[in-house]
A = this chain, B = another copy of it.
């Protein structure tokens, strides 16, 4: 297991030097969910059909949130994102909303944080819009599903080996 690269030899936080790393195509996928009561989910689903598109607002918030990642996460490098897409699907078995975000760039570091931030902001936005109805909703299982590109290569959740 390696050391924490965000600190120097004296333990001081720094933004890691990536200037020697090549620019490569990178992609990351993250997911998460928001659990709620069945009747709250019904309200969201019904609203989408008729009026009041909660998931459309949250999708947009997630896309804009991905662009703010380097502003939110102190040691994150700013990156020229080339794609962001979010999928928010109602799931009655949760019950709640399942969220997936895909982010791409060509850069010197990966976009894992952008994908995870997109999912987090989308989940928070759904919470905000529905909290007058149910305050007990829970945001959960936000994780990296996949990343590819860069020196460390491909990662897929559930398939990680010793170095994952």
**Total interface residues in chain A, CB < 8 Å:** 96
Q: Contacts A13-B60, A78-B80, A135-B160 hold; do A121 and B72 have CB atoms under 8 A apart?
A: yes
- Kindly identify which residue among B32, B56, B74 contacts A63, using a CB–CB cutoff of 8 Å: B74
Complex interface: chain B residues within 8 A of A47 (CB): 4, 7, 11
Flag A31-55 by CB within 8 Å of B: 1 or 0 each: 0100000011001100100111110
The count of identical subunits is 6
CB contacts under 8 Å to B, within A53-92, are 53-54, 56-57, 59-61, 63-68, 70-87
Chain A residues at the B interface, C-beta cutoff of 8 Å = 1-8, 10-19, 25, 32, 39-40, 43-44, 47, 50-54, 56-57, 59-61, 63-68, 70-87, 104-108, 112-113, 116-117, 120-121, 123-125, 127-144, 147, 155, 157, 160, 164
